[in-house]
Amino acid sequence: MKVFLGNAPWRKPGFYGVRAGSRWPHFEADGCSYMPFPFFLAYATSLLRDDGFTPFLVDAVAEDIEDETFFERIVSFGPDIIFFEISSASLNTDLRVLHHVRKLMGKDVKIIFGGAHQDLGNSEFLSEKPELDFALGGEYEFPLLSLLQAIRDQTSLEKVPGLAWRDERGGVRINSRGTLHANLDDFPWPARDMLPMARYNDRPGGIPAPSLQILASRGCPFGCVFCAWPQLMYGGSSYRTRSSKDIVDEIESCVKTYGSRSFYFDDDTFNVGKTRIMDLCREIKSRKLNLPWAIMARADQMDRELLETLKDAGLHALKYGVESGAQEILDGACKGLDLEKVGETIKITRELGIQYHLTFMFGLPGETEETARETMALALDLDPDSLQFSIATPFPGSRFYDMLLKSGHLLSTNPDEYDGYHNAVVRTEALSHTDLLSLRNEAENLWKEHCRQRRARE
């Protein structure tokens, strides 16, 4: 059975959309180099191939190919099944792709949607889209394998986790998600051989290219209201990890096969469980990889011993999510982050010579001009090597989205406007959406001046 798996083109004038591989689907300006690796698609492709299916994986976003080229690849492959990873932010584009592919391929080819979109688990989503055959809610690799096995073997669809499907009378059925696959070591390594590896780029601290993006864990045990990913993909705050051996085996293989000169752990939260991280560092050192690497981490999960161990194993850079300079805003967003601890951790990070990137956002519940300026002041005081200012964007499925609906502070439900930077789709009691954009612009200008003065001092 031939299976096409795709990350469809997603563009608008001057921008390319980042969908598969991103926890926050958004637009990047043409000329930017950021490109996340599509982990779920690549893992699913490996699972299918190992089970005897004939998969063909195309990441049209990474390849920067036009719609017609993408459609031509589907037609020339002649699949029996087509699977697209979609997202809330790209939904309008995803539906246009669905409509066109259905016209091209006819009724005999089955089309499946999966990805980070809340409505995939609702009966209305499938019932309103006759061109779509199936939808898979949540982490989809093993459920997709189960669905295709059931289609191939002509067995019941009732036990496929998280599946929305039509019964023989045309009624929409929604299966329970069931439980997540507990052992991440059971996943075969992603099908990187089918992807344009040189195009994937996420290099905190300028770690050298080509750089490997890899996962050591899935999920996050924390409960930030603005994060939809754990709820949509994992059904809550679960946290699963891979063995150190499996991780480093994969890194060694990619260094040999693709010439990787660095690696980046793009985990939801890498540094949960000090003992596990220390063990991974020992494994990296014992293999003598001698490569710089980077992580996505929480500042409050670090201490000096752990940071020293990470540095000794080759850690060159990391990303910390701070989000606000006002403790009451963080508390209201259930971030569970103590700003005093953040300052202590960043001081140690700086002393050890580890480069650090910080993220901040404006527009969380309770935001005022005063709290926004506290965020600007903290960002400059922490003096990161790089940072990101964004506008809080409430993807459906997050508690933030529900809070805004209740308060009346959600200004748009048009997914095309959910980019988190150029548009503000939220307001607060004290600030309008234009206020938030102005404050974000002011923060950007302050940061540019801060960097100019820092370079002058150097």
* Spatial contact of 143 and 130, defined as CB atoms under 8 Å apart: no
pLDDT in tens, 141-196: 999 999 999 999 999 999 999 999 999 889 999 999 989 999 999 999 999 999 99
**For residue range 94-136, what is the model confidence (pLDDT) as tens digits?**
999 999 999 999 999 999 999 999 999 899 999 999 999 999 9
Q: What is the pLDDT of residues 71-98, one digit of tens each?
A: 999 999 999 999 999 999 999 999 999 9
Strand partners, 163: 136
Tens of pLDDT, residue by residue over 337-370, are: 999 999 999 999 999 999 999 999 999 999 999 9
CB 21 within 8 A of CB 38: yes
Helices within 154-273 (DSSP H only): 229, 244-258
Strand partners, 359: 321, 388
pLDDT of res. 418? 86
CATH topology of domain 202-457: TIM Barrel (3.20.20)
Q: Which of 284, 213, 205 is nearest to 244 (CA)?
A: 284
CB 108 within 8 Å of CB 78? no
pTM, 2 dp:
0.96
The reported pLDDT for the residue numbered 388 is 95
Per-residue confidence (pLDDT) for residue 40, from 0 to 100: 98
pLDDT (average), residues 295-309: 97
Report the C-alpha gap between 380 and 377 in whole angstroms: 5
Say whether pLDDT at 420 is over 80: no
Q: Which two tokens stand for residue 177?
A: 């998600």
Q: What is the DSSP string of 411-455?
A: ----GGG--SSS---B--SS--HHHHHHHHHHHHHHHHHHHHHHH
Q: Which residue type sits at 337?
A: L
| CATH classification number, 2-174, choose in 3.60.21.10, 3.40.50.1980, 3.30.1660.40, 3.40.50.280 | 3.40.50.280
Confidence of residue 422 (pLDDT cuts 50, 70, 90): confident
pLDDT in the model for residue 203: 96
* Portion of the chain with pLDDT greater than 70, in percent: 100
Domain edges within the chain? 2-174, 202-457
* pLDDT at residue 263, as a whole number: 98
The whole-chain average pLDDT of the chain stands at 96
What six digits make up the tokens of 388?
């990101």
| Maximum Cα interatomic distance, the chain, rounded to a whole number of Å | 73
What does each C-alpha distance from 61 to 30, 57, 374 come to in angstroms? Answer: 12, 12, 37
Cα dist. 394→181, 328, 344, 402, 413 in Å?
Answer: 28, 19, 30, 8, 10
pLDDT of residue 131: 97
Does the pLDDT value for residue 421 go beyond 90?
A: no
Q: Percentage of residues in the chain with pLDDT exceeding 90?
A: 94
